[in-house]
Structure 1
Amino acid sequence: MRVYVGALRPVAAGLLAGLMVLGAAQPAAAAPRRAEQWYLDELRIDRAHQISTGRGVVVGVVDTGVDAGHPDLRGRVLRGASTRDAGDGRRDPAGHGTHMAGIIAANGAGVDGIAPDAQILPIRKPPGGSFTPEDSATGIRMAVDGGAKVINLSYGSAGAVDEGEVAAVRYALERDVVVVSAVGNVRQLGPDVTAPANIPGVIAVTGTSRGGGFWNGSAQGPEAVIAAPGDEVYNIGRDRGYGWGDGTSDSSAIVSGVAALIRSKYPKLSAPDVINRIIRTARDAGPPGRDPRFGFGRIDPVAALTADVPSVSANPLLGAAAASPSAAAPPAAAEDDNFDVTKYGDRGGPTDQQVMVVGIGIAVALVVLLALVGFLIWNRRRHRRDLARAGDIPDEVLDRMGDGGHGPPVPVGHPATPPSGYAQPGAHPAPGAHPQSGQHPQPTPYAHPGPYAHPGPGAYPPPAQGQQSPPGQNPWAPPPTSPGPTPPDTPR
């Protein structure tokens, strides 16, 4: 029995209605789906796309078919074939093959693929338990004959290796095709590397999690060649939707996409050289050299596209070269040798949970700000009322007070002078007035000289013509309101 080694989880249908009222969170919730594709940032795919996008390369996807009508795959899916009938492989009720095709070549309408300009050749085979080693062998041969230069096999079976499947893999390798396969998932097929990944010459791919650690759901073994993200890989799925995939199926599709980038960048490079470039530029992880979990290391698309890697005459995964750890020694000219994959974790953008938290925080901050403004307004009005009661200012006068500090307008029926105890702005204290405790009388400023000087607003009229003011007295000062001690002479 053959099992697809990747489980696709459905996308959540919506958010809680109560949180949707937060206006601040709504625009961020509509962020591009690219933000969910954390693995693209760990792989520095944006940088890799400046070098290659996979144009001109056909990737065969032997799987449950591919939905050619999905918006993210329009223009990317060729007419393929079916191992059991006359179909062309361009429909996929199960969604698994469409998810793999999206990881490889999604065009960016909703999500990005590893090689967005590559073309997909779908080879449809029966899903589930009805899939046999014969179907696998037939599908591999169909992909080779259909012109694929890279073949992705995101399925596996435990037990003895089928000779027909081995012959089909050899058929592909002899025709300069790169064959990539998932090693299998522990919960489905056990801890050991399954077929066809354990066939010599195949790039057997294990899974990693965010930050580059080994994904605990991945199978492992001495046949492991390379490791790639396999935990919560977000891309397109069934029913023309989107979803997360968990499994080495996703890891295999990522490596197939990188192989397409290399074959597009170096169109004259042979399949053995493509494989050699992938394993020699891998970032070593786990024990030094090749190990059962990471193989030769984590895949590094940018280094694989830019490093100076010597040519080989045979597939490095066959014969003595396959067992030699030196085959994975990084070349001297590999770019960014100090690259730390953990620095690139989850930088595509905010997740829905992060957006929700930020939105709630913004909403709370706005509520607090509005409450503070309301309190300040209320406190100001209360203070003004207290002053009004203390100074016996009518409420209607207080309500018409200006904000410029010029005092209240004088309504009809009220005296022109302010109530006792409130000095008119700009006026001087009258002789005999007692300053408040702790205060000192202010000096009288010099009057503006000349015949064109005018008293300011609220000032008292000048003395009548011919009337002389007593020596030392300000002619513009108001008459004393009550007898009292004479303030000190104003300095002049």
Structure 2
Amino acid sequence: MRVNVGSLRPVAACLLAGLLVVGAAQPATAAPRRAEQWYLDELRIEQVHKISTGRGVVVAVLDSGVEATHPDLRGQVLPGGRSYGASGDGRADEDGHGTHMAGIIAAKASGDGVDGIAPGAKILPIKLRKGSGTTSDAAMALGIRMAVDGGAKVINISQSGPGLVTDAEASAIKYAFDRDVVVVSGAGNTARGSVAVGNPANTPGVIAVTGTTRGGAFWSGSVRGPEAVVAAPGESVYNITNEAGYGWGDGTSDSSAIVSGLAALIRSKYPDLNAPSVINRIIRTARDAGPSGRDPEYGFGLIDPIKALTANVPPVTANPLLGPAAAPVDPGPTRAAGPDEEFDVTQHGDRGGPTDQQVMVVGVGIAVVLVLLLGLAVFLIWNRRRYRREAARAAAIPDEALDQALSGAYPSPGAGYAPPPGYPPAPGYPPAPGYAPSSGYAASPPGQGPPSGYGPPSGYAPPPGHAPAPGYGPPGGVPPAPPQER
């Protein structure tokens, strides 16, 4: 009898996210579901997807079926089959476990959805059981063969059984190996009563995956054993569920799906690599997190997708998990390019602070505020100048005069300038026609000169009927005004 090695928590109706301010968590509504996928940040999946998305690779999910109509899986699920004696193509899931695994591997976010490890890959669902029942050994053996015949290059088995595989299952696994297929399986969960790595994970040549927590520590709910090959996130793994839902999964089921996604990324990036070389690349680029070398908890270490896709790892001809090559202790790859070489997810993983997406949202918000402030400043300057221009037009002042006024420099009067009637001329200019002294000065009696101290402006004759002031003479070349009769 077999049981699932992953359990799903109930799906929350509304997701809340907290943006920490001075250490106090405050609820926020409508937070992106992607923010719940902490494991994608630790695995640096956004950088990984710039290198490979798994395009062109088919991953078989041997499980409870897959709900192909889920918004985040539309177009991702191929017609599969049922290996327990019923008709159908595997694209239905009453339990939700298989759908969750398929989403971890290949989900494509639709709006506020979630991302898969290899969103370019396609899922081949092989339904092993009806509803939430158990999987028989015969259904498992037939399911593996159906997956191989259906074109899968990676097989994910998030199932675990006690003891060793049956002869039929062992024969089916060999059938997959002989046809260049990578087989990945969860090691098992202590919550299910497992105390050792179960089958088919304990079968030589299969990648047995244990679980880790946020930050890279070994997850206490995962079994351990000498058959462990690599470790991957297995606690609180957020992704899709059936009935178009979303939820968290705890278990090495989730860990296995993550590693299957990684195998798809490698097979897409290096389409000429055989299955043994894909396995070799995964284990030789894993980061040793436990005792030196292979250990019962982490196996060869924590998976490192960036290194697995970029390291210089020589190809091999035989499965490194079989025979004497099954226990390499020196990973020894050299990186093709350097800055990510020393990045350690156990040291730099997200431990409760804001996610990369939250930081990006805050950064965009700050940028928008700065742009608005700059735009406001430009508008105020422009509006002030426009107001002055309109005022100048209303007063019939030329623009060049306004510019000179703004700079504080009025020009000297030009040629032909004359003051308005009733005003004295500027120095050096003739008076306006009909100019007379300003009022307030008394005229002298007829025949008498002007009052004492009074004199017309320089260069001008006295008013008619008045004698010129002492010492006054008309301007050079101009005859004195003739006396007028009374």
Shorter-chain TM-score bucket reads 0.5 to 0.7
Unmatched 5+ residue regions in structure 1? 17-24, 359-492
Q: In the TM superposition, what are the counterparts of 1:251-266 in structure 2 within 5 Å?
A: 251-266=255-270
CA distance in 1, matches of 2:15, 2:302: 36
Q: Indicate the SS of the match to 1:34.
A: helix
Partner of 2:243: 239
Partner of 1:140: 144
Q: Indicate the SS of the match to 2:299.
A: coil
Partner of 1:183: 187
C-alpha change, 1:15 and 1:107, in structure 2 (3 Å) is closer
Q: Indicate the SS of the match to 1:69.
A: coil
Say how many residue pairs are matched: 344
Deviations 1:455-474 (A, max 9, x none): xxxxxxxxxxxxxxxxxxxx
Q: Indicate the SS of the match to 1:273.
A: helix
Partner of 1:343: 348
Q: In the TM superposition, what are the counterparts of 1:195-206 in structure 2 within 5 Å?
A: 195-206=199-210
2:106 equivalent to 1:105: yes
Deviations 1:430-469 (A, max 9, x none): xxxxxxxxxxxxxxxxxxxxxxxxxxxxxxxxxxxxxxxx
Q: Does structure 2 retain, via aligned residues, the 8 Å contact 1:36–1:348?
A: no
Q: CA deviation at 1:339?
A: 1.3
Q: In the TM superposition, what are the counterparts of 1:82-481 in structure 2 within 5 Å?
A: 82-83=82-83, 84-109=85-110, 110-126=113-129, 127-326=131-330, 329-333=331-335, 336-341=340-345, 342-345=347-350, 349=354
Deviations 1:69-94 (A, max 9, x none): 00000000000000121110000010
Q: Does structure 2 retain, via aligned residues, the 8 Å contact 1:282–1:330?
A: no
The TM-score normalised by the length of structure 1 is: 0.67
CA distance in 2, matches of 1:129, 1:237: 17
C-alpha change, 1:276 and 1:15, in structure 2 (3 Å) is closer
Partner of 1:34: 34
Q: Which amino acid aligns with 1:77?
A: V
C-alpha change, 1:346 and 1:45, in structure 2 (3 Å) is farther
Q: CA deviation at 1:164?
A: 1.1
Q: CA deviation at 1:26?
A: 11
Q: Indicate the SS of the match to 1:72.
A: coil
Partner of 2:51: 51
CA distance in 2, matches of 1:130, 1:77: 23
CA distance in 1, matches of 2:10, 2:189: 19
The TM-score normalised by the length of structure 2 is: 0.68
Q: CA deviation at 1:337?
A: 3.1
Deviations 1:137-164 (A, max 9, x none): 1111100000000000000101233111
CA distance in 2, matches of 1:308, 1:324: 17
Unmatched 5+ residue regions in structure 2? 17-24, 363-486
Q: Indicate the SS of the match to 1:130.
A: coil
2:82 equivalent to 1:78: no
Q: Does structure 1 retain, via aligned residues, the 8 Å contact 2:80–2:91?
A: yes
C-alpha change, 1:308 and 1:129, in structure 2 (3 Å) is same
Q: Which amino acid aligns with 2:56?
A: G
Aligned-pair Cα RMSD in Å: 2.3
Which structure has more relative contact order (CA 8 Å, sep 6+)? It is 1
C-alpha change, 1:121 and 1:31, in structure 2 (3 Å) is same
Q: CA deviation at 1:324?
A: 3.3
Q: Indicate the SS of the match to 1:260.
A: helix
Q: Which amino acid aligns with 2:118?
A: A
Deviations 1:277-324 (A, max 9, x none): 000000101100100000000000010000000111100000000033
Larger radius of gyration: 2
Q: Does structure 2 retain, via aligned residues, the 8 Å contact 1:2–1:129?
A: no
CA distance in 1, matches of 2:262, 2:164: 30
C-alpha change, 1:29 and 1:306, in structure 2 (3 Å) is same
Q: Does structure 2 retain, via aligned residues, the 8 Å contact 1:36–1:349?
A: no
C-alpha change, 1:281 and 1:142, in structure 2 (3 Å) is same
CA distance in 1, matches of 2:323, 2:294: 15
Q: CA deviation at 1:133?
A: 1.1
Q: CA deviation at 1:131?
A: 1.2
Deviations 1:115-138 (A, max 9, x none): 001000000011555311111111
Q: Does structure 1 retain, via aligned residues, the 8 Å contact 2:230–2:303?
A: yes
Q: Does structure 2 retain, via aligned residues, the 8 Å contact 1:4–1:128?
A: no
2:68 equivalent to 1:68: yes
Partner of 1:462: none
Q: Does structure 1 retain, via aligned residues, the 8 Å contact 2:94–2:132?
A: no
Deviations 1:408-451 (A, max 9, x none): xxxxxxxxxxxxxxxxxxxxxxxxxxxxxxxxxxxxxxxxxxxx
Q: Indicate the SS of the match to 1:10.
A: coil
Deviations 1:219-257 (A, max 9, x none): 110100000000000000121100000000000000000
Q: Indicate the SS of the match to 1:120.
A: strand
Q: Which amino acid aligns with 2:258?
A: I
Q: CA deviation at 1:347?
A: 7.8
CA distance in 1, matches of 2:71, 2:214: 28
Q: CA deviation at 1:98?
A: 0.2
CA distance in 2, matches of 1:319, 1:350: 43
Q: Does structure 2 retain, via aligned residues, the 8 Å contact 1:307–1:331?
A: yes
C-alpha change, 1:349 and 1:122, in structure 2 (3 Å) is farther
Q: Which amino acid aligns with 1:118?
A: A
Q: Which amino acid aligns with 1:330?
A: G
Q: Does structure 2 retain, via aligned residues, the 8 Å contact 1:57–1:119?
A: yes
Q: Does structure 2 retain, via aligned residues, the 8 Å contact 1:38–1:346?
A: no
Partner of 1:4: 4
Q: CA deviation at 1:330?
A: 3.1
Q: Does structure 2 retain, via aligned residues, the 8 Å contact 1:45–1:114?
A: yes
CA distance in 2, matches of 1:188, 1:295: 21
CA distance in 1, matches of 2:15, 2:273: 49
Q: Indicate the SS of the match to 1:268.
A: coil
